[in-house]
Structure 1
Amino acid sequence: MPALLKLLTAALFTCLSLAAYGEKLRIVTEPWAPYVYDDHGTMRGLDYETTVTVFQRLGVDVEWQFLPWKRCLAMLDQGNADGALDIFHSHDRDTLLLYPSEPLSEVEFVLYYANERPHPAQTLEDLHNLTVGTSPGYLYGSPFADSTLFHREPAPSHEANFGKLLLGRIDLVITDRRVGQHVLKEMGLEDKVSQAPVVVSRQQQFLAVRRGAGMDLLVQRFAAELKRFKQEPAYAALSAKYGGFQANTASGHTVEQQESSAP
């Protein structure tokens, strides 16, 4: 009985909290295919569809908005959004955000270069005096962020970064392996761009919410239901649907993208 009472109390506080926010949880995110993206007016993606399923099971209504990532972060800071999908855990944000104990997925940041101007980097030291295209607001890990060996040049989108790469305006592009392969496929550049061997960093992605009344309980319930869903055949099918990309590496061999979501 005490355990059941605790669960009911948690659900009650969560509902009261959401009611205070207008009955819908306002979640912002940037298109980050194949994790979350707009497919001709229909939202899709591994992490998006997983999150929708979990919130449906919790009885929580969600209002979604796609924005550039820096604006997503600004809306969280200003209190104009209740949470963000596919955000990395940063201790600098701990005073603002709550993170579930269970991540949605894990990204693997790698580098891509134009085949006409190959830079098959094995380590970050191989990037000496090169320029790497980045995305504003993204966290690539301290070794990459703190290095003074190379230059960083931001672009408003992943497509813009790869466009600059082909024009020779930058030497490499950094992005998640699955995201990179998805963008290259959509742009028809699979035969013009290759992946360098170096893995810059691996980071977990979360659904994080702003701190507030009842939100800590919502995060706990979300984590428990997410962990439960990941053990089901429905999640395995969803994971396979969005995890089967292949990457052209500097060695010329094909490396199959393995699903790297946390169990």
Structure 2
Amino acid sequence: MKTLLLTLCLSLAPLSLALAETLHFVTEEYAPFNYTKDGKITGIAVDQVETIAKAAGIDYTLEIMPWARAFAMAENQPNTCVFTTGYNRERTKRFIWVNPLLKDQMVLIKRQGDAHNGLTLAKALELKVGSQRGDFAVEALELLGFKNIDLAADIDITLRKLLSGRIDLMPTSVKTYKKLIKDGIPVEKAMLMDGQIYGLACNRQTPQQLIAGLQAELDKLILNGDQDRIFTAYGLPPDTRTADNGMKN
């Protein structure tokens, strides 16, 4: 019996050690997914990340900062994860992933009432587009052939440049675009881009037990409908997240 108990303790030791480690979650100001309100970090993705970490019994810290810094920290510091991160082929092997915190179409937006109507890709390539340093959208823009890309530290700065006329276009998710419209921000859809999966991108040295625990809890969150309830609580019910004038799946 003693031998059996010792064997069980030794087999459980790596898992216990892994779960005892602290994960550092870093993110940016990007409403409605992750942002600061009344001094508290909140948002659709924040609620999901905190929920699955607690359910998995994982200790964690949460910090908000410019995206390029957050992304670099997750790539270079063990036990660090960045969100809400666009998942693409180039990033696949740079991180260990917990997906999906959301699935969304990308869209190029413009100032309300500007002259860029009936925009085609050929016309869009002649315009000045803005995005954030380190954002996956920059790679998406470059792959489409954009050359004149203005980079800012965060989405709020990019949005201010768009509204002031310093840039002509700005890529964002359809969900963020709908939130901007709901908030009365004078922007319009200019052109749809490809769909995108977003998730939690963790440093490759993060223990696999922690990643497995987070993924298992995220899977439960999706299957039991709680992910949809979180979206609904922020004014983005499931029906408005899956349809948008020809949106691709």
TM-score when scaled to structure 2? 0.80
Distance in structure 1 (CA, Å) of the matches to 2:40 and 2:146: 42
1:53 partner SS: helix
2:231 partner SS: helix
Equivalence map 1:61-80=2 (5 Å): 61-79=59-77
Q: 2:106 maps to which residue?
A: 109
Q: 1:253 maps to which residue?
A: none
Shift of 1:117: 2.0
Aligned length: 234
Gaps (5+ residues) in structure 2? Answer: 1-8, 244-249
Shift of 1:233: 4.2
In structure 2, do the counterparts of structure 1 residues 258 and 74 end up closer, same or farther at CA, with 3 Å as the change threshold? Answer: closer
Distance in structure 2 (CA, Å) of the matches to 1:94 and 1:231: 24
User: Does 1:222 pair with 2:214?
Assistant: yes
* Percent of aligned pairs with the same amino acid: 24
User: Does 1:15 pair with 2:16?
Assistant: yes
Any conservation in 2 of the 1:132–1:172 contact (CA below 8 Å)?
Answer: yes
User: Does 1:132 pair with 2:126?
Assistant: no
Equivalence map 1:50-199=2 (5 Å): 50-79=48-77, 82-100=80-98, 102-140=99-137, 144-148=141-145, 151-183=148-180, 185-186=182-183, 188-189=184-185, 192-196=186-190, 198-199=191-192
Q: 1:251 maps to which residue?
A: none
Shift of 1:60: 0.7
Instruction: Report the RMSD for the aligned CA atoms in angstroms.
Output: 2.8
1:257 partner SS: helix
In structure 2, do the counterparts of structure 1 residues 88 and 143 end up closer, same or farther at CA, with 3 Å as the change threshold? Answer: closer
Any conservation in 2 of the 1:35–1:47 contact (CA below 8 Å)?
Answer: yes
- For residues 118-150 of structure 1, give each alpha carbon's deviation from its aligned partner in whole angstroms, at most 9, with x where no partner exists: 313543222132101111111138663234455
Any conservation in 2 of the 1:121–1:127 contact (CA below 8 Å)?
Answer: no
Any conservation in 2 of the 1:120–1:195 contact (CA below 8 Å)?
Answer: no
In structure 2, do the counterparts of structure 1 residues 225 and 115 end up closer, same or farther at CA, with 3 Å as the change threshold? Answer: closer
Q: 2:201 maps to which residue?
A: 208
Shift of 1:70: 0.6
Gaps (5+ residues) in structure 1? Answer: 1-7, 246-255
Any conservation in 1 of the 2:29–2:155 contact (CA below 8 Å)?
Answer: no
Shift of 1:69: 0.9
In structure 2, do the counterparts of structure 1 residues 148 and 185 end up closer, same or farther at CA, with 3 Å as the change threshold? Answer: same
Shift of 1:17: 2.6
Q: 2:34 maps to which residue?
A: 36
Distance in structure 2 (CA, Å) of the matches to 1:28 and 1:148: 31
Deviation larger for 87-96 or 108-117: 87-96
Shift of 1:29: 1.0
Q: 2:240 maps to which residue?
A: 257
Shift of 1:66: 0.6
Whichever residue aligns with residue 107 of structure 2, its letter is V
Q: 2:246 maps to which residue?
A: none
Any conservation in 2 of the 1:141–1:201 contact (CA below 8 Å)?
Answer: no
- For residues 139-186 of structure 1, give each alpha carbon's deviation from its aligned partner in whole angstroms, at most 9, with x where no partner exists: 138663234455211122222222222222111111112223334555
TM-score when scaled to structure 1? 0.76
